[in-house]
Each structure stands twice: as C-alpha cells, then as structure tokens.
C-alpha cells in the first residue's frame, strides 16, 4: 500500500480568455481567413474558457526556434516545479530532506540534467535521493506516475516519494501549421504543473494516529514533523492507493503523440482517439474492480483526465456515469485546458479539496483515477479512503 498525503497544482501567469488566445495565435498558424474561421469554431467548441501560458501572449510571435522554446521550458518549468514541490511538502508536513524517491515527468520539453536534478539543490533534497525522469508518456503520465510511485513504495514502505509533473504545452506552438490536428490542439492544451507527496504504509505520516478513546489529534504534540503531520492530518490526506492497471492498445500509435521536427514538437492527434478508448475502457475498469469484489456502482468518485469534451463523453457513456461524476474534470478543462500529464493531478486536487466529493464520498470509500496517452495507453488507479481517517 501507499498513501497520498498532498497534491499541489500550480499555474503560470494570469488566466487568458480562450478568445484572446485564439486571436493571438490565429495569424501565426495561417493567413487564410477561412481557416481562421475554422480555428475560431474549433476553439469555441473545445470546452475551454480560459488558459494559462508560460509566456506573455505577445511573445509567441517570435517563438520560432526549438532551442529557444526549450530554454523557456527549462526556466519556467523549473520555477513551477519548485513552487509545486514546496507547497506539496509543506501541506504534507514533510521536510525536503525526508524525500527518498523523486519521479519527474513531462512531454513538452527536454533537459539534461533534467529538471528534477535542479530541484535537488533548490529544495534542499538529499544528494542520495533516487531520481527517475520520464519523457514520452504524455497525458497518461500523471496517473502512471502515481502508479509507479506506488510500485516503489510497496517495496520501500518506510519511504517518502515526490511525483512532479510539468507541462508547458504552449511552448510547442508550430508556426504555419494549419493542419486540423494543430488547429484543435492549439485550442485545447494549457500550461501547468503539479507535485504529489506519497508515503509507504510503514511511514509515520501514512498511519492514522493511535489515540486513547475519546481523545482528539493534537497538531502541537511533540514528535517528529512526520508524526505531527500524521496527528494533524485532515481527512482528504487519508487516501490509499489500492491497485493499478496499465494498458497499451496495439496498432494505435498514430492516434496521439509527437512528430519531432526542426521546429520542435508537432502534434499527432487523431479524430479516432475517442473510439479507441470507447472500445476498451469498460473492460479495463471491470478487470481492475473485479479483483477487489467491486463494480462501477461501488465507486464513489471518478477522477478523470480532462482530455477534451469527446474524451469525457466517452468515459461517461462507456461506464454509465452521471454528468455529475465528471464535474471536476469539466471544470478543470474549462478553467485551464488539457494540461497533459498534470491534468488528472489538477482534477485530483480539486476532487480532494471539495467537501462534497472525495474518494470517501458518494456510494462508498473507493475512487478510480484514470488518464490516457500516446500508445494509445491507459492507466487506472484504484483509490480508497481509510475508514479510520474519514471525517
């Protein structure tokens, strides 16, 4: 077992209305009035109302070099990663020096040494912290990151792990690309980052406090910082990762991903992606739940990657969910767009923060978190609120 102690989403700069973004980048993609009209319709139908961008909107006209864009990725991405990590560690009551494992993921920029290496000095992590940077999982990496950290903590139950996702999708803008895939993606993807603190079930912060009958937790009690955090823990932090599933669907590589160009990352985005998910999702979810004597009716909360309106529709229809089950996903899509690997983590943060919706609410204590990415791949995570920690 492992536990989620804190999820900290962060965003760069102010929110920009979708229409302002459309008007700014339209001339950078095409000179055709007809194509710009198509662009406006696609952006208006994306389910996105506002987005945050790594740079000021007026800076994108001059962003034509892959090298320059990647320099911005390293600069802005490292700052966002540091902010997210500091917030998550503080919320969890964990000192940076306690972190044993650091998993960093992104698909919108590259660096060597990777951003996680820069975080060691910035955050004051131990120099013997185990690091694992990941590139290429794309939108699925937020869910996959939780799953792989869970795998690590299952084998290292006394350890602390930090998952960091940074996605600056706006920096992948391809000037002069008026393909349908690029027109759609430039209205869908946004910029953001997230840090998640997790611990193994033998770590003090992963265990409920042992108190005499009738006693209440005392945040001021003496002990280690982790022990004090355990005593002060609020109910949303008592979330266990119960199980995970990974799926890669054969012969679907041309549905989602990048083509690497001299100018950077060119989007691969197929109109058939929702149909791929529709063909497999219900069976994949069932195979995960049946091993725990559960069905979809037993799941109180669904934490779904905000991949776009059609993706959310497919998830709803394939699993027989109510629109209310996707409320946080729809709201995240509207407010910040699809944040690639950070998207499902932002949805998770919103879910845990809501008083009326958490993995202990609804029909029972279980929740399912899911995301989809290049491959086409899917990652499912079964969550559970511990009864002894329920508020």
Catalytic residue ranges = 139
Instruction: From 88, 348, 355, 49, select the one nearest 190 (Cα to Cα).
Output: 49
- Quote the CA–CA distance of 145 and 28 in Å, as a whole number: 34
Name every residue whose Cβ is closer than 8 Å to that of residue 141 and which is 6 or more positions away in sequence: 105, 106, 107, 134, 165, 340, 341, 371, 373
CB atoms within 10 A of CB 370: 23
**Tokens of residue 124, six digits:** 């004051």
* DSSP codes, 317-384: HHHT--GGGGHHHHHHHHHH-B-GGGHHHHHHHHHHH-TT-STTSTTSSEEEEEEEETTTEEEEEEEE
**Per DSSP, what are the bridge partners of residue 259?**
266
**Tokens of residue 248, six digits:** 């890669």
Name every residue whose Cβ is closer than 8 Å to that of residue 169 and which is 6 or more positions away in sequence: 108, 185, 189, 190, 191, 337, 338, 339, 340
117: part of which helix (H) or strand (E)? helix 115-123
CB atoms within 10 A of CB 50: 17
Name every residue whose Cβ is closer than 8 Å to that of residue 58 and which is 6 or more positions away in sequence: 24
Give me the sheet containing 130-135, strands edge to edge.
Answer: 130-135, 101-106, 160-168, 191-200, 2-10, 239-248, 377-385, 366-373, 299-304
| DSSP-H helix ranges across 30-108 | 33-44, 66-92
Instruction: Give residue 115's Cα distance to chain centre.
Output: 17
What are the φ/ψ torsions at residue 15 (nearest 5 degrees)? -80, 135
């Amino acid at each position: 077992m492992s536990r989620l102690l804190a999820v900290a989403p962060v965003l760069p700069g102010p929110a920009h209305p979708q229409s302002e973004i459309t008007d700014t980048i339209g001339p950078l993609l095409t000179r055709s009035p007809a194509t710009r009209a198509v662009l406006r319709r696609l952006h208006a139908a994306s389910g996105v109302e506002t987005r945050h961008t790594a740079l000021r909107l007026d800076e994108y006209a001059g962003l034509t070099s892959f090298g320059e864009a990647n320099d911005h990725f390293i600069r802005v991405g490292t700052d966002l990663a540091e902010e997210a990590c500091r917030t998550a560690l503080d919320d969890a009551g964990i000192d940076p020096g306690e972190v044993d494992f650091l998993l960093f993921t992104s698909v919108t920029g590259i660096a060597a040494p990777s951003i996680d290496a820069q975080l060691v000095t910035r955050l004051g992590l131990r120099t013997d912290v185990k690091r694992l940077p990941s590139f290429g999982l794309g939108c699925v990496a937020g869910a996959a990151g939780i799953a792989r950290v869970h795998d690590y903590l299952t084998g290292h139950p006394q350890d602390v792990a930090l998952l960091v996702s940074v996605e600056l999708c706006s920096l992948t803008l391809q000037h002069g690309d008026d393909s349908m895939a690029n027109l759609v993606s430039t209205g869908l993807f946004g910029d953001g980052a997230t840090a998640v603190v997790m611990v193994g079930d033998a770590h003090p912060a992963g265990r409920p406090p042992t108190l005499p009958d009738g006693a209440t937790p005392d945040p001021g009690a003496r002990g280690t910082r982790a022990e004090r955090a355990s005593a002060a823990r609020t109910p949303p932090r008592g979330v266990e990762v119960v199980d995970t599933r990974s799926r890669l669907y054969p012969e679907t590589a041309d549905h989602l991903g990048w083509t690497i160009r001299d100018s950077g990352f060119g989007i691969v985005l197929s109109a058939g992606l929702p149909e791929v998910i529709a063909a497999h999702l219900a069976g994949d979810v069932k195979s995960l739940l049946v091993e725990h004597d559960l069905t979809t009716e037993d799941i109180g909360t669904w934490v779904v990657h905000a991949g776009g309106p059609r993706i959310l529709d497919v998830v709803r229809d394939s699993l027989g969910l109510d629109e209310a089950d996707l409320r946080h996903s729809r709201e995240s899509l509207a407010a910040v767009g699809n944040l690639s690997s950070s998207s499902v983590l932002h949805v998770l943060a919103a879910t845990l923060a809501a008083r009326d919706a958490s993995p202990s609410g609804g029909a029972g204590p279980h929740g399912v978190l899911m995301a989809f990415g290049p491959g086409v791949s899917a990652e499912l995570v079964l969550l559970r609120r511990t009864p002894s920690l329920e508020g």
